[in-house]
């Protein structure tokens, strides 16, 4: 639908999904309340009814038979989006529409990248890296707010500037946006830690750090490498 909520701008909601039949209906239903121009569901490597459910609710579905990288779906969805404002959510938990709207509205009001406001204790490698990168990019006020966490939104012009592929590495995308002079702010707090599903294979390890932690830290290394070359 075409919306009048965003001052003449239009909203695209991007939802990467992999075997999320349990939540995809409620995720789309909440996103629909924002009056988006489109809801783009990027499905990769699914074997359940995610595709059918998404199509039945009128979403634009992009289907990949094999698994993409961890956040590659964000870049794919953004490259196809027609809206001026891009809102990114995950499909493994549902965020109420009233907690999604502030991110889209912030971009409409002039913020280029609207982050989920996070203030995590610096007792784990991921929050430490979030804080360190923000400090390195002269954005200490963001604390541990990061594109790693959904929901977040950004203007189409940001994505076109930093490249769609950068969205596959959220810390790199955030770093590039900050260093290119875009306005990056934490606008609203959503406690995704309480909502995020615990996955035994990704969130636990008998030795060392869990695979998900290692993947996210690796993304931060890419952002630091980018900074070092400036």
- Tens digit of each residue's pLDDT (9 = 90 or more) over 152-174: 999 999 999 999 999 999 999 99
- What's the pLDDT at 197? 60
- Give the Cβ contact number of residue 23 at 10 Å: 18
pLDDT digits (tens, 9 = 90+) for 53-72: 999 999 999 999 998 888 99
Residue 198 pLDDT exceeds 80: no
Task: List Cα–Cα distances, 230 to 38, 136, 175, 179, 180, in angstroms.
Answer: 37, 12, 11, 9, 11
Q: What is the model's pLDDT at position 210?
A: 79
Q: Is the pLDDT score of 88 beyond 50?
A: yes
pLDDT tens string 112-141:
999 999 999 999 899 999 999 999 999 999
Q: Given this model, what pLDDT does residue 202 score?
A: 45
Instruction: Please report the pLDDT score of residue 193 as a whole number.
Output: 85
Per-residue confidence band for 212, with pLDDT thresholds at 50, 70 and 90: confident
Q: Which of 220, 202, 170 is nearest to 18 (CA)?
A: 202
Strand order in the sheet with 60-64: 60-64, 38-44, 11-17, 85-88, 152-155, 113-116, 184-188
pLDDT of residue 205: 45
Give me 158's structure tokens. Answer: 């940001």
Beta bridge mates, 11: 85
Q: Is 109 exposed, middle or buried (0-12, 13-18, 19+ CB in 10 A)?
A: exposed
**Spatial distance between the Cα atoms of 102 and 97, rounded to a whole number of angstroms:** 9
CB atoms inside a 10 Å sphere around CB 29:
12
- Average pLDDT (12-38) is 96
Please say whether the beta carbons of 140 and 170 come within 8 A.
no
Alpha-carbon distance values, 71 to 29, 43, 67, 150, 166 (Å)? 22, 12, 11, 11, 10
| Mean pLDDT to the nearest integer, 193-198 | 72
Name the token pair of 154.
Answer: 């950004």
Give the mean pLDDT of 196-202: 54
pLDDT of 208 higher than 90: no
Please state, in angstroms and rounded to a whole number, the distance separating the CA atoms of residues 95 and 90: 9
The whole-number average pLDDT for the span 179-187 is: 98
Helix (H) or strand (E) run with residue 105 in it: helix 97-108
């Amino acid at each position: 639908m075409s919306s009048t909520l965003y001052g003449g701008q239009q909203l695209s909601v991007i939802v990467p999904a992999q075997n999320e039949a349990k939540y995809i209906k409620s995720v789309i239903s909440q996103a629909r309340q924002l009056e988006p121009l489109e809801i783009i569901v990027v499905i990769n490597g699914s074997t359940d009814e995610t595709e059918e459910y998404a199509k039945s609710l009128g979403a634009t579905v992009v289907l990949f038979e094999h698994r993409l990288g961890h956040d590659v779906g964000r870049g794919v969805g953004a490259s196809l989006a027609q809206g001026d404002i891009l809102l990114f959510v995950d499909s493994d938990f549902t965020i109420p529409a009233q907690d999604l709207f502030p991110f889209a509205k912030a971009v409409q009001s002039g913020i280029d990248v609207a982050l989920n406001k996070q203030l995590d204790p610096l007792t784990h490698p991921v929050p430490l890296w979030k804080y360190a990168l923000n400090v390195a990019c002269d954005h200490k006020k963001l604390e541990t707010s990061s594109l790693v966490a959904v929901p977040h939104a950004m203007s189409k012009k940001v994505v076109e500037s930093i490249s769609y592929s950068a969205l596959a590495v959220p810390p790199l995308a955030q770093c590039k946006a900050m260093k290119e002079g875009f306005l990056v702010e934490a606008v609203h707090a959503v406690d995704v830690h309480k909502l995020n599903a615990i996955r035994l294979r990704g969130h636990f390890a008998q030795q060392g750090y869990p695979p998900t932690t290692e993947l996210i830290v690796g993304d931060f290394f890419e952002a630091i490498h980018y900074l070092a070359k400036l």
